Chains A and B, each alone.
Chain A
């Protein structure tokens, strides 16, 4: 700034920076507390007044026990399956619909748009949706975890906005060379829309990674549980039959280090959270600008 700041403005600057630093600390504190606690000796967990600012008595015992929980590994794989299937299938099907929306007038286009827009305002609600899934014989299957959720109107609109950016001359010349709409989409438009496809895929993957509501209402079989369902048992219900037995089995080790059953269970909780958020924290710094881009594309339509 060329303009000299007044005294009041300088004071404001200092306050503003302090305020932003507070925001940063409050945002990061829970993450750091959990990660540091997960690497700490369980005996310190109760002694640190609920806030671990550095790993105390560094060890990985909690991870060894957390990873022994067979359902955790299983749920990790399940989540990857659901995220990959839902994202692939969703992008494949929604791209075709988005391409159709980019094409100029064709009979029933308006009807199609109305059909997909209505679902943004109306829905069946929880109970009719549940009964519908039951009637389709999808309860307690892997399908229910990605098939109903893989398509949504908002994403179709984002894809349409993305495909619209591709110069229409490319589609036209391909059409002249005898290419049909499917070839134009998959060979020409989609390779030129990698940015928007990446954004949509990222949002989809994060959505599946964090999803647990369908599992809560549709799944009974614990073997099909996604990661967040297992996390919920460990984190918010404070119960985990498998883990409790394992803690009891290795009780002598834990007691030697000065821990007990309850602190060990806490330590395992922290380790499990860290295992679950690890991938997101690791890729987040590299991918966050794509997410921000996605919000921009999404809000353009509004």
Chain B
């Protein structure tokens, strides 16, 4: 088959000798062969679903397919905006991310700064290696650990009783969902998240520290006036990413952690879409909720990028 193709290409090439574009196409024919599978994959698995977004504007009937199902306009969006769930989902998604921003975002930065102050390289290496480990453990296991340690008769409740405090129903009480979510996020991600900061710190010119030492700067002053400013660019870049995702909460961990008794604080847009769309088969409605989330997320990325470029001359594009 390849022989006939190249024969044909040779024939075409003689016909179009003066055509530059065609010559380039032929010259690069192997390149096109090589990007073909990936291109097909992107079209089938990424672009078909993008086209499928129109389902949010249609009264989808499986028997009719997407194209022939009747249009309903913005009906699902109106239904969602006026529903009881709208504000609850917005609030849950936003609050979870704000807590993550306050507690989980600075954690790797603090860890990187503290690790940088350790003189014993062997000890530092061991701490780093151990702190990366949870990153490679599945969410299922992490939630399994959580449910074990925070079970009614688990370690944490036993400690609380020993200290004379009231045992808590951590997974049935809505007020505990956010703290548990954020804490387990830190447990899983603090070490791994610090890598990027540690690598930035390691590229700081050592002469700056030496000069500071000669000038009599204390260790704390060096950390505050050399190390921290040197990683500020990285911090801002990571902050932009976080701000862009301020309304996005991943499905997996919430889905494994929550149950109907804590929907009040735990239900987020992604889990709501799953329940309505895949369990309740309300495809159009769920897709509309999903689109709302994507559009807001995109606007957030653009805004945070713009703000950052305006004030810090740093941006992701």
A interface with B by C-beta (< 8 Å) = 1, 3, 5-6, 9, 12-13, 16-17, 19-20, 23-24, 26-28, 30-31, 33-34, 46, 49-51, 93-94, 96-97, 99-100, 103, 106-107, 112, 115-116, 119, 121-132, 135-136, 147-148, 150-151, 156, 180-182, 185, 206, 209-213, 216-217, 228, 231-232, 235-236, 269, 273, 276-277, 280-281, 284-285, 288, 291-292, 295-296, 299, 302
Given A100-B34, A291-B132, A107 contacting B42 (CB threshold 8 A): no
**B118 at the binding interface (Cβ < 8 Å):** yes
Docked complex Cα distance between A12 and B117 (Å): 9
User: Which of B86-94, B96-104, B143-151, B174-182 lines the interface with chain A?
Assistant: B143-151
Ranked nearest first, the 7 interchain pairs of A and B with the lowest CB-CB distance are A124-B49, A128-B52, A50-B155, A210-B138, A235-B144, A125-B290, A96-B34
Tell yes or no: B260 within 8 A of A by CB: no
A9-B218, A24-B127 given; A125·B287 CB < 8 A: yes
Q: How far is the CA of A235 from the CA of B218 in the complex (A)?
A: 50
A196 CA to B49 CA, complexed, in Å: 31
Would you call B79 an interface residue if the criterion is a C-beta within 8 Å of the partner chain's C-beta atoms?
Answer: no
Q: Does B278 reach chain A (CB closer than 8 Å)?
A: yes
Chain B residue nearest to A234 (CB atoms) is: B144
Please state if B199 and A97 are interface contacts (CB–CB under 8 Å): no
Other than the given A96-B34, A124-B52, 19 more pairs (CB < 8 A) read A23-B131, A23-B190, A24-B130, A27-B130, A50-B157, A51-B155, A93-B37, A103-B28, A103-B31, A107-B28, A124-B46, A125-B293, A132-B45, A151-B45, A216-B255, A235-B147, A280-B137, A299-B196, A302-B237
Chain A residue with minimal CB distance to B301? A121
Total CB contacts across the A-B interface at under 8 A: 237
The reply on B204 being an interface residue by CB < 8 A is no
> Do B154 and A50 touch across chains, with their CB atoms under 8 A apart?
yes
Chain B nearest Cβ from A122, distance in angstroms: 6
A182 to B35 CA separation, bound complex (whole angstroms): 11
Give the distance in Å from the alpha carbon of A108 to the alpha carbon of B35 in the complex.
11
Q: Is the CB of B298 within 8 A of A20?
A: no
Chain A residues with CB below 8 A from B117, complex form:
12-13, 16
On whether A50 and B149 interact (CB within 8 A), knowing A126-B290, A131-B55, the answer reads yes
Contact status of A284 and B140, CB under 8 A, knowing A107-B21, A128-B52, A130-B277: no
Known: A12-B117, A112-B39, A127-B55. Contact between A284 and B277, CB under 8 A?
A: no
A27 contacts B131, CB within 8 Å? yes
Q: Check A277/B141 contact, CB under 8 A, given A3-B213, A97-B38, A103-B31.
A: yes
Contacting B287 at CB < 8 Å: which of A5, A128, A135? A128
User: In the bound complex, do residue B24 and residue A276 qualify as a contact, i.e. CB atoms below 8 Å apart?
Assistant: no
Residues from chain A with Cβ under 8 Å of B143 in the complex: 235-236
Question: Do A107 and B140 contact each other (CB < 8 Å), given the known contacts A112-B35, A131-B283?
Answer: no
For chain B, the bracket of interface size reads: 35 or more
Nearest Cβ on chain B to A92's Cβ, whole angstroms: 9
Residue B16 at the chain A interface, CB threshold 8 Å: no
Q: In whole angstroms, how far apart are the Cα atoms of A231 and B31 in the complex?
A: 43
The chain A residue with its CB closest to the CB of B198 is A292
**Cα distance, A231 to B143, chains bound together (Å):** 11
Q: Which residue of A lies closest to B27 (CB)?
A: A106
* B41 CB–A CB distance under 8 Å: yes
Q: Does residue B85 face the partner (Cβ distance < 8 Å to A)?
A: no
Residues in B whose Cβ lies below 8 Å from that of A285:
129
Q: Are B30 and A180 in contact (CB under 8 A)?
A: yes
Q: Could you tell me if A96 and B37 are in contact, using CB atoms closer than 8 angstroms?
A: yes
B274 within 8 Å of A (CB atoms): yes
* Interface residue? B119 (CB, 8 A): yes
Cβ-closest chain A residue relative to B241: A302
Contacts A23-B131, A125-B290, A231-B141; A213 near B252 (Cβ below 8 A): yes
9 pairs, CB–CB < 8 Å, chain A vs chain B? A19-B114, A51-B155, A103-B28, A123-B294, A127-B52, A128-B55, A151-B41, A181-B30, A295-B196
Q: Check if A136 sits within 8 Å of B44, measured CB to CB.
A: yes
- Docked complex Cα distance between A147 and B287 (Å): 23
Q: Is B50 an interface residue (CB 8 A)?
A: yes
Q: Is the CB of B141 within 8 A of A273?
A: yes
In the complex, which residue of chain A has the Cβ closest to the Cβ of B279? A217
Q: Would B273 and A127 count as touching, CB distance under 8 A? A: yes
Q: Is the CB of A17 within 8 A of B196?
A: no
* CB-CB under 8 A for A182 and B30, given A50-B153, A96-B37, A136-B44: yes
A35: min CB distance to chain B, Å: 12
Please determine whether B251 and A181 come into contact, CB atoms closer than 8 angstroms.
Answer: no
Q: Which of B30, B38, B130 interacts with A28 by CB under 8 Å? A: B130
The reply to whether B139 and A210 contact each other, CB–CB distance below 8 Å, is yes
**Residue B66 lies at the interface, judged by CB distance under 8 Å to chain A:** yes
B24 x A30 contact (CB < 8 A):
no
Does B187 have its Cβ within 8 Å of any Cβ on chain A?
A: yes
Q: Once the chains are docked, how many angstroms separate the CA of A174 from the CA of B141?
A: 49
B45 close to A148 (CB less than 8 A):
yes
In the complex, A30 Cα to B283 Cα: how many Å? 40
The answer to whether B131 and A49 touch across the interface, beta carbons within 8 angstroms, is no
Most chain B C-beta atoms within 10 Å of own C-beta, residue among A46, A123, A124: A124
**Residue pair A106, B31 in contact (C-beta under 8 Å):** yes
A30's contact among B51, B127, B149, by CB below 8 Å, is which?
B149
Which chain B residues border A112 with CB–CB below 8 Å? 35, 39
Given known A-B contacts A23-B127, A46-B153, A235-B147, A16 and B138 have beta carbons under 8 A apart: no
Minimum C-beta distance from B50 to chain A (A): 5
